[in-house]
Structure 1
């Protein structure tokens, strides 16, 4: 012992270091270091970065950054050693002037290596009991069994009661807009009033069922879901490129709500639909913004950072929409409020490691309408092709991202593609065996050799790139020498005689699959070419020319007509069949590491796929499970009935959209930083009912709108305003302004111009732009745009110049709850925008057709179309005077600006 003490004293005095095997005494060697250098900032009274170094258990847990300060037996894995050795810039502890001596650092290292013994604290544990209501199991015993019962109990405590039932005209307007986003027509309103007078309950119940069965129900509720996940059709970066065919995911959501797809299935398909026959559902995972690879560049650190940012977008979407927690807060450190560690964050990211932002062909079940339509159209196309081959014709098909050249079957050993231009580029050239459009015989795999013209060859742009299966910037190029007529060509030699009948060529097919509406996008950089085969004498003989195939003459009118028919079918396929769409790319998952302070350049411990540990997040899968296995396991964890969050979050979300405020006022944050529920027992009862209904969203919505609470008047009274002015206790129905979509769609409906077609590509209001230019609104009012606003191109960072003023979200941030502002621009847009002027004129024309030339009748018809009621005497007289002084269209514009039109009663 005396020797050991002497060595320790020598070390403290700057003498020779003790032998690494000599035991370290905590009280003598380590505690003074901690007390003198560490515990002032990391002790009982103060814990900078959430780190305490006065308790062993707290050391083992670590601070806010989530890394254990001490890992017994592993100094290299102990963050304490990283900071005291100043190995990580910005985290030097103590700072330079007070840096520990090498001797003290060595003592700490040896102490950790020897097991970090701390007498009296070896059994110390950190109590991390979760007691926040949202993370506790759902209650099973309740005092009430109806929504009204729970609400009345709270009202009784406050000395309040429900208001009287709303008048029938208000009631039909309220429930129609709440469930479908569209107001009732005058005919629908009057029919309800008449039925209501005979049997109010039966009339209301029938109305609710009709609205739930309406195809417009799915459109309304899809809009709410798209808000939460920030879905848009551009990526939101500097270039803000369009996400081609992303609308297919939007249509999936509309269909899911219309079909009343069980919510657990709805979630599962969006997370793992690629293995469940609903590949169009995974657009959910890539709904957030991202920076495309071309903007990121080739610098490795930038690539790694961009990948980490994209993973964060996925986790933000999943956390906010389904779990109701702010997962992203744990990217750099342990969540400051909720039981989500930095390790949990990266375990979650491991679940989604096989997802990349981009496009793919969706995996759809054989029964999917798109698959059925694809089979019908491709059969039609192939029938016409067979007819044309029998005629000995050759022709070109334009598939936008690539061209296909078809011709009668030819058996060849060698083939040459002779280009007409002096400078050509292609990313892929496929040659298909006759009768088998999936067998690309141009691949080297089949023994095919391709060479290009040595005189036009460009170093580094070799012809092998044409058969590598990579569409995009990995291209072949050929260029004629200056002043020479020599043209690029490609020479294919097959391993054996091969019968071919189709060539497919593209310039940048990936770009076409990923985006759209760009000036000069996918410009044909290969131009026209001749297809040549060797004749009996070994000379190249031209078999067909694409330039000739494109020409139209009277002699080939039959051929041209058939080509036109094929092109029409191709156009139909682009919207009705399963096309490449921005639904996410699937890649091989890689190992996942915790990034110290969120920095991908500082990877630490490896983690396996899992959900948050404190929420029983083990997924029961192998660490090296495939990407789909990980995601499917996570979806099943989310939808377990015992999961405390999933049902609560969705029930609250449905409530929020019907009342304008949730039982939990922060719909995407159920954590400690969020607001507490106003009616916690009712929320749990509704969550239990939701699960027992088979996760039926329509069932939950039906129960809410059928309640007395939903049917009551929105009029204020003195007692209610004094006790609960915001009506959180629901002593009245809280009136609120309707969303931008409802205002726009209602104007079109009143004008008789609403195209109520459900689904399909978005209507365009923007220009064709250069790649790095900004989108511009060029037409947001003409008849091609007269569809529901749900189908308007949803662009990030672009103001539509009319309804963005009504708090339509930019989709850059989670919008679980839209703000409601009041600005002069709103009134100006509803009075003077080209859209409103056009629709007011159309409405005036409709009114004149339906009401005749009598001004009083015209005024009454305006009120009926917009408010489903007649004007009172005061309104009638002032409106008649306005029409006489100006015109009927101006009255329509004035009425569009009224609170009655813009508010839900």
Structure 2
């Protein structure tokens, strides 16, 4: 036993000595590295402290050690509780700073982070940064995201000919600092495809392609931008991201997971984007349309945003527990979607990293706590359960008048869950450990002071909360939204962590650009279409997506934006591309969600067996070919073809989808009934045209890939078609064509159709078909 202990001690000693030796030698080598001339607390030091120190010496009072906070200068500078002669930080003197001694010592009893904390030790580079920061005075700064943005000067650049607007100056300035040069502009075919997917969520049709290629006007591109933004499909494209944020679905969730009629709210979102409703109004109506003086039915409908959360219909649940769950969801969504902060982390205790206390959380919670709703409303039944109180009824007169954007397809009763506060104010308490029945101190409506105090001029209700959100001094609102929009077009936000602008989130890759966009957005009336047009007309956006080995090696994530965006389109648009290119797409805007093809038994295995959604009832006819955003989302069994391509199941607010690459995605593209049916239908249309086979294949390629094929590509596809004609027999052809409900022309040769279908299917399965380049 003693021998084992001896060897263990020797091992620890050797590891410590080795670490100290490596640490010391590495620190010397770091001195020659590119340490910034001026060290910024926000951009150089705080990320290190947040990652390695705030767990024990940060905002969370419950986890704080030694009564030391390193996130606050007054605490970091003062004498240590256990050693009044020592100070964590002594500005100008690293040797006298206990922080520096602890991160450089080899004594396991003194080193920080402690071995038992599980945190990694600081790297030599990080140590060098802290040392230089202390030498320069150890100056603290308020977290960058909590400082109101100011309009920065547009930087000068060496390449004067490349920029097309202010965005390009900020982007190119960063590139030139790092020795990068931008890519040339993408060719017109790829640029048009990118633009159509980004503004309409659909590929361009042949007529649009031919017209754009033939348009030699100097402003042809800008004219196309205006045309696409004027189409009603623009609202559908822009709405999809907001549906993820708003956790929109067509069922209540939980075990029974019955049908709900929130789709009129979805129709309103599409309408709002098409009408270019200013972002300030877009959000204010959704937060507090019911509280606005003389509010309209449209403003009341907008508040359905706050009622999209899951709702239970199961008997035996505790009413107050679920009511609190609904309020919690609204509070978390507000923090994540509109402020870009992880406010939910303060639900059970003070935030461990950000300056949000549990009291802050429940002060925001109180804004949403007086909604006139119970936790449980009725057991699964008929249409009266499709919406939950408070709710509004939409009449046929409404659908012909003020709510004419709603695609009301019958004369039946249509009701939607909306907001409406009780006449009596409901008290709010801090919930100990987040438990619904453990009341702590009473709190009142308020917001985190670290962001912006909730002053006495705001009404103490959701309308006041909206005013606070759009106060010119609020540092987050504009930044968060322009960052979300930026991610929609470039696949990566300026702040990569869209839902976390706090201490643990990523730093902005171009803070000056982010602040310029935010201030410009605010000062131009929160105009969303203007913001979108600025982005897509920039030279930054119009670059070729070609990746050179040097750029891939030095900037694999394209943080510097020295090339165009290249990534797979969202799940719903994969479906839309297939339907649009084949000619099957039903372009009807809005209306009830539909059930297209789905493997049998999925719903039945996840339901309680009660309610309208107990079994899957597939639609037929034109409704089979609606856009992906209109596919009915049952939360306990979301559309499988969407889920495979990373679509949200809408359980909770999601500001950013994952983007994966799995074998299941390839299998879906090869076997999905909609895809195979589209290939068959497009093949039949091509065969009816009076031209040569090579022309048919050429057209199929253009419809799907949105560019002209190369000679090599045409050779491969023509040879493949000839091979299929030789190998397919009548039995194989009949089996292959037996997919989907769209009728097969009777006057077409089945073997020829099957061979052409295989060619079209092959083109659909090219990576480029579902990739924005």
Q: TM-score, normalised by structure 2?
A: 0.70
Identify the match of residue 341 of structure 2 among 298, 320, 325: 325
Q: Relative to structure 1, is the Cα distance of residues 784 and 54 closer, same or farther in structure 2, using a 3 angstrom cutoff?
A: closer
CA change 1:893–1:134 in 2 (3 A) is same
Q: CA deviation at 1:615?
A: 2.3
Alpha-carbon distance in 2 for matches of 1:471, 1:228: 25
Alignment of 1:502-517 (within 5 A): 510-511=384-385, 513-514=387-388
1:603 pairs, out of 421, 434, 439, with 439
Q: Deviations over 1:284-325 (max 9, x none)?
A: 112232333x3453xxxx332222211111011111111111
CA distance in 2, matches of 1:864, 1:54: 67
Checking the alignment, whether the CA contact within 8 Å between 1:358 and 1:584 is kept in structure 2 is no
Alpha-carbon spacing, 1:585–1:890, altered in 2? closer, same or farther (3 Å): farther
Look up the SS of the partner of 2:437 in the other structure: coil
Give the whole-Å Cα distance in 1 for the aligned partners of 2:387 and 2:611: 18
1:640: Cα distance to partner? 1.3
Which residue does the alignment assign to 2:252?
235
- Cα deviations by residue, 1:407-431 (Å, 9 ceiling, x for unpaired): xxxxxxxxxxxxxxxxxxxxxxxxx
Distance 1:157 1:881, change over 3 A: same
* Residues 1:902 and 2:770 are matched in the alignment: yes
The answer as to whether partners of 1:472 and 1:508 remain within 8 angstroms in 2 is no
**Contact conserved, 2:200 with 2:233, CA < 8 A, in 1?**
yes
Instruction: Check 1:159–1:899 CA distance in 2 against 1; reply closer, same or farther (3 A cut).
Output: same
Residues 1:334 and 2:350 aligned together: yes
* Structure 1 residues 153 and 296: alpha-carbon distance in aligned structure 2, compared to 1, 3 A threshold: farther
Out of 204, 218, 224, the residue aligned to residue 221 of structure 2 is: 204
Query: Bigger CA drift: 782-791 or 764-773?
Result: 764-773
Superposed displacement of residue 671, structure 1 = 0.6
Alignment counterpart, residue 718 of structure 2, candidates 880, 883, 886: 880
Distance 1:207 1:882, change over 3 A: same
Offset from partner CA, 1:566-619 (integer Å, 9 cap, x none): xxxxx9967589931133454344101111121222212111111223223325
Is 2:244–2:648's contact at 8 Å kept on the other side of the alignment?
Answer: yes
Question: Which residue, out of 685, 689, 692, partners 1:854?
Answer: 692
Alpha-carbon distance change, 508 to 876 in structure 1, aligned in 2, over 3 angstroms: closer
* Partner Cα separation in structure 1 for residue 334 and residue 374 of structure 2: 18
Quote the residue 2:174 is aligned against: 154
Measure, in 1, the Cα distance between the counterparts of 2:193 and 2:469. 36
Task: Label 1:595 to 1:168 Cα distance change in 2 as closer, same or farther (>3 A).
Answer: same
1:130–1:508 CA distance, 2 compared to 1 (3 A):
farther
After superposition, the Cα gap between the structure-2 partners of 1:775 and 1:834, relative to the gap in structure 1 and judged at 3 Å, is farther
Q: Aligned pairs, how many?
A: 585
8 Å contact from structure 1 (residues 780, 800) kept in 2: no
Equivalent position of 1:50 in the other structure: 63
Structural mapping, 1:521-600, within 5 Å: 579-584=414-419, 586-588=421-423, 589-600=425-436
Structure 2 counterpart of 1:289? 310
Aligned residue in 2 for 1:533: none
Give matches, 1:245-256, under 5 Å: 245-256=261-272
1:189 matched residue in structure 2: 209
- How far did 1:870 drift? 3.3
Residues 586 and 623, structure 2, Cα contact 8 Å, conserved in 1: no
CA distance in 2, matches of 1:662, 1:220: 18
Give the corresponding residue for 1:136.
147
What corresponds to 2:449 in structure 1?
Answer: 613
* Partners of 2:386 and 2:415 within 8 A in 1: no
Q: Residues 621 and 782 (structure 1 numbering): CA distance in 2 closer, same or farther, change over 3 Å?
A: same
Deviations along 1:655-699, whole A, 9 cap, x unmatched? 000000000001111111111100001100110110111000111
Q: How many angstroms does 1:141 deviate by?
A: 3.6
Partner of residue 171, structure 1: 191
CA pair 812-241 structure 1, distance change in 2 beyond 3 A: same
RMSD, aligned CA: 3.4
Cα deviation for residue 511 of structure 1 reads: 2.6
Distance in 2, matches of 1:55 and 1:678, equals 31
Residues 18-62 of structure 1 deviation map (CA, whole Å, 9 limit, x = unaligned): xxxxxxxxxxxxxxxxxxxxxxxx999999823578699x9xx99
1:202-237 deviations in whole A, cap 9, x for unaligned?
000001111111111110010011112322122221
Kindly indicate which of the two structures has a greater share of residues assigned to strand: 1
Instruction: Give the 3 Å change call, closer, same or farther, for CA 796–44 of structure 1 in structure 2.
Output: closer
Give the whole-Å Cα distance in 2 for the aligned partners of 1:261 and 1:44: 45
How many Å apart are 1:747 and its aligned residue?
0.9
SS in 1 for 2:429: strand
**CA deviation string 1:496-551 (max 9, x = no partner):** xxxxxxxxxxx977435459xxxxxxxxxxxxxxxxxxxxxxxxxxxxxxxxxxxx
Q: Structure 2 CA distance, aligned partners of 1:705 and 1:733?
A: 11
Within 2, Cα distance between the matches of 1:729 and 1:356? 49
**Hey, what does 2:585 align to over in structure 1?**
754
Structure 1: which 5+ residue stretches go unaligned?
1-41, 63-127, 360-469, 475-506, 516-570
**How many angstroms apart in 2 are the aligned matches of 1:787 and 1:640?**
40
Is 1:791 aligned with 2:630? yes
SS at 2:450 equivalent: helix
Q: 1:720 aligns with which of 542, 551, 554?
A: 551
Distance in 1 (CA, whole Å) between partners of 2:61 and 2:448 is 25
Q: Cα distance, 1:826 vs. partner?
A: 1.5
Distance 2:567 2:463 in 1: 40
Query: d(CA) in 2 for partners of 1:46 and 1:712?
Result: 44
Distance 1:673 1:755 in 2: 44
- Determine the structure 1 residue equivalent to 2:238: 221
* 1:836 alignment partner in structure 2: 675
In 2, Cα distance between equivalents of 1:261 and 1:337: 36
Judge conservation of contact 2:59–2:351 (CA < 8 Å) in 1.
Answer: no
Please state whether the residue corresponding to 1:605 is helix, strand or coil: strand
Shift of residue 796 of structure 1? 1.3
Q: TM-score, normalised by structure 1?
A: 0.60
